[in-house]
Structure 1
Amino acid sequence: MNKIYNKNTFLLLFVIAAISLNLRLGITSVGPLMDTIRTSLSLSNAQASLLTTVPVLCMGIFASLATVLNKKYGSKFTLILMLSVLGVATALRGFLPGFSTLLITAFLIGLAIAVLGPTMSSVIKKYFPGHAAIAIGISTFFMSMGSAASAAFTGIFFEVSDSFMFALAIWSAFALFGVLVVAFVLKTGDNSKLPKQEVSEVKYKFPSPWKQLKPYLFMLFYALQAAIYFSSITWLVPMSVENGMTMIQGGMLLSAVMSVQVIFNLLLPIMMEKYPARRNWIYFILVAGTAATLLFWTGDHTLMWIGAFMMGIPLGGLYSAALMLPLDETLTANGANSWTAMMQTGGCIIGGLFPFVIGFIYDSTQNHNYTMLILLVIYALAFILITIIGNKKENNFDKFIVDPSDN
């Protein structure tokens, strides 16, 4: 039996970390500057929310493109291409002013992330077939590190430079770093020397996930976690400012959320692998998120800080749990890619609409009580859905074996 870890495996984990740092920066860096951008460009709240809604929608619409690019060009080329698109789009925010530029770059950022996510899942499934939870934990940990950094420092970059364009564009440096790491460190194919998934002589033919029930349940769960995540990072700072905090204080509040998210992104997949009753873990996460939302609703600054630390639990845990669902139910790297792409396609399209809906409602009511109510309803729906999904079950894939006589 091959060793699970060697030097090349840790190099692959380094590559995964470098890519993951970029998976939310172009979106989370907008949240701390939402009010500044809205005021500077004379936008409504609904218009400003499009800067997070558009990339999330693109993450759903273009997720299936990952399967096409990976099959035609391979994972390494696909990763380099999409990281380059991500970096250029982010950098353009510092040179071309205007709302149209922000929208176009938001589209390109969403397109890049849409392909990077499923490609990462495919690589993880291929090289960590029995220990996907650890690799997922590394990926989500560094993705959260990037989110926490953008939440903490974007506002500071703005205060120092007096330019929201610079504060948004500076994060393109991480994409350049990712391109260099993938280009010079990632080795694929026969020369990779990585302990990869053993290729069996048995051939399988699996039905499309679009023709099965369970992937649709996973899609809905992903949609709910996406709605919670992107609505929170978009509107937490404006809600904090409305309750008497400064923009810097609101940014630090968001940073506290992201810091706890970092911890749970890393711990939850490991704990779910060791104690695999995933439904109970997700129940705990949803209860914590519900309590955090209620604490935010009070408007009391002390309780809001307590709620911020609790809010990091669902923002970190639900994403990790959602990524584990298709990996638990598939046998091959291609299967994980197609299930993840489907889950992300519908999930991001549905979940990505919520920041815009909240902005539209706030424009009409000037009241964030409706925002809190929407979040509580989402948590309740997620509780019902995970009850239906249940815990991981051992699957029998024998019925999908291809008879050699059929070839």
Structure 2
Amino acid sequence: MNKIYNKNTFLLLFVIAAISLNLRLGITSVGPLMDTIRTSLSLSNAQASLLTTVPVLCMGIFASLATVLNKKYGSKFTLILMLSVLGVATALRGFVPGFSTLLITAFLIGLAIAVLGPTMSSVIKKYFPGHAAIAIGISTFFMSLGSAASAALTGIFFEVSDSFMFALAIWSAFALFGVLVVAFVLKTGDKSKLPKQEVSKVKYKFPSPWKQIKPYLFMLFYALQAALYFSTITWLVPMSVENGMTMIQGGMLLSAVMSVQVIFNLLLPIMMEKYPARRNWIYFILAAGTAATLLFWTGDHTLMWIAAFMMGIPLGGLYSAALMLPLDETLTANGANSWTAMMQTGGCIIGGLFPFVIGFIYDSTQNHNYTMTILLVIYVLAFILITIIGNKKENNFDKFIVEPSDS
């Protein structure tokens, strides 16, 4: 790819950033208000946790829909459609009260994110085949930036408006912004000026990722990082309040986690591309997360703040690492799309159950020691799994069939 850094490249990165801002807002904005929503609607902890569990499960169940929509309608139409669904669902939270509304909108938000994620991977693989880490870094940076903003500001919006409905719905503005950016900036009709893959003289027919071993390992890794991420954003604030903090303080604690996550979302893909021993990087990230969990478990406010900044390392780094795995192992945009969709499908279904399981256990025990134990077990399992996966092997892609090209 010649002259990757040009005007059109930066426009494409701007599109990626605008979309990525929306990929967690509908979920992360719930965490700071978990206790408020539960009290206002007379819910159990398990019921309240469904507001983050349902969208994550949908992210898994409907991930394969991205492949269908992209093939039939193209990536631009798919992005606009799903951003519109995301925006309408988020806005509805401010106008139609009730737990059923929150559940339905959680479903729609999860559906939209499920399609947006693999579609983004396809776009990145298509236009940044040799520099995927840069685009992944931009994407995860802005996704984490949105998460940090929602963690810090949702509680403040609630305090100012005295309405959790308003505090949840206001984030729909970013989806509208995303729709406008994709509609007017992403020019699908003139691809010649955008960075893209060179035309190959052969066609690659990859077997389905569901028929190979390595994608299942990636799926399990994605599941573990999803379990850590969504369990943390769901229960960190309630655990902080239980340890004597106010809701605003808990929200700021979560914001500290997300702020560090922003840095590692951007930094890790670049470092993994420059120094490709990915297993060593992930060992470091998992060690930081394990130490952070132990510090947070003490209940000491000073140590909890230190833990919050350390906890941002695994929440940012593991997600970026997970996204890099299928891009490292595939040759084409379609291959990256299918591998990412599979990884997200199984990973989100497995990982998305953990916030609900934690809520159910807490309802039964009224003790978050079990929550911390679950998180530590996840870190141990991730250590074992990445040891099995190992480092990226250059030019050692999964088997494919080469056919003569028609071109």
TM-score bucket (shorter structure): over 0.9
CA shift, 1:398, in A, is 10
Query: 1-side partners of 2:85 and 2:228: how far apart?
Result: 27
Query: 2-side partners of 1:148 and 1:388: how far apart?
Result: 32
CA shift, 1:173, in A, is 0.1
- Higher deviation after alignment, 387-396 or 117-126: 387-396
CA shift, 1:403, in A, is 3.8
Partner of 2:360, secondary structure, is helix
* 1:7-65 Cα shifts (integer Å, max 9, x gaps): 00000000000000000000000000000000000000000000000000000000000
Match of 2:105 in 1: 105
Do the aligned partners of 2:329 and 2:398 also contact (CA within 8 Å) in 1?
A: no
Q: Name the CA shift for 1:74/1:305 in 2 (closer, same or farther; >3 Å).
A: same
Do the aligned partners of 2:289 and 2:313 also contact (CA within 8 Å) in 1?
A: yes
* 1:225-249 Cα shifts (integer Å, max 9, x gaps): 0000000000000000000000000
CA shift, 1:376, in A, is 0.1
Query: 1-side partners of 2:4 and 2:10: how far apart?
Result: 10
Identity of matched residues, % = 97
* 1:77-118 Cα shifts (integer Å, max 9, x gaps): 000000000000000000000000000000000000000000
Query: 1-side partners of 2:321 and 2:334: how far apart?
Result: 20
Do the aligned partners of 1:202 and 1:401 also contact (CA within 8 Å) in 2?
A: no
Structure 1 position 224 matched with structure 2 position 263: no
CA shift, 1:401, in A, is 4.0
Do the aligned partners of 2:330 and 2:397 also contact (CA within 8 Å) in 1?
A: no
CA shift, 1:399, in A, is 5.9
* 1:118-137 Cα shifts (integer Å, max 9, x gaps): 00000000000000000000
Partner of 1:402, secondary structure, is strand
* 1:234-287 Cα shifts (integer Å, max 9, x gaps): 000000000000000000000000000000001000010101100000000000
Q: Name the CA shift for 1:122/1:295 in 2 (closer, same or farther; >3 Å).
A: same
Do the aligned partners of 2:329 and 2:397 also contact (CA within 8 Å) in 1?
A: no
Query: 1-side partners of 2:229 and 2:166: how far apart?
Result: 25
* 1:275-323 Cα shifts (integer Å, max 9, x gaps): 1100000000000000000001000000000000000000000000000
Query: 2-side partners of 1:191 and 1:354: how far apart?
Result: 42
Q: Name the CA shift for 1:366/1:192 in 2 (closer, same or farther; >3 Å).
A: farther
Which 5+ residue runs of structure 1 have no aligned equivalent? none
Q: Name the CA shift for 1:306/1:326 in 2 (closer, same or farther; >3 Å).
A: same
CA shift, 1:190, in A, is 4.0
The normalised TM-score by structure 1 is: 0.98
- Higher deviation after alignment, 396-405 or 73-82: 396-405
Query: 1-side partners of 2:191 and 2:345: how far apart?
Result: 33
Do the aligned partners of 2:292 and 2:307 also contact (CA within 8 Å) in 1?
A: yes
Do the aligned partners of 1:209 and 1:215 also contact (CA within 8 Å) in 2?
A: yes
* 1:156-176 Cα shifts (integer Å, max 9, x gaps): 000000000000000000000
Do the aligned partners of 1:8 and 1:192 also contact (CA within 8 Å) in 2?
A: no
Which 5+ residue runs of structure 2 have no aligned equivalent? none
Query: 1-side partners of 2:268 and 2:289: how far apart?
Result: 15
CA shift, 1:203, in A, is 1.1
Partner of 1:403, secondary structure, is strand
Query: 1-side partners of 2:170 and 2:190: how far apart?
Result: 37
**Equivalent residue pairs, number:** 407
Query: 2-side partners of 1:71 and 1:152: how far apart?
Result: 38
Match of 1:161 in 2: 161
Query: 2-side partners of 1:113 and 1:325: how far apart?
Result: 20
Q: Name the CA shift for 1:12/1:406 in 2 (closer, same or farther; >3 Å).
A: closer
CA shift, 1:204, in A, is 1.2
Query: 1-side partners of 2:88 and 2:74: how far apart?
Result: 22
Do the aligned partners of 2:28 and 2:234 also contact (CA within 8 Å) in 1?
A: yes
CA shift, 1:397, in A, is 5.8
Query: 2-side partners of 1:397 and 1:281: how far apart?
Result: 21
CA shift, 1:6, in A, is 1.1
Query: 1-side partners of 2:354 and 2:247: how far apart?
Result: 23
CA shift, 1:187, in A, is 1.3
CA shift, 1:2, in A, is 2.6
Q: Name the CA shift for 1:105/1:398 in 2 (closer, same or farther; >3 Å).
A: closer
Report the RMSD for the aligned CA atoms in angstroms: 1.4
Partner of 1:399, secondary structure, is coil
CA shift, 1:198, in A, is 1.0
CA shift, 1:406, in A, is 11
Partner of 1:204, secondary structure, is strand
The normalised TM-score by structure 2 is: 0.98
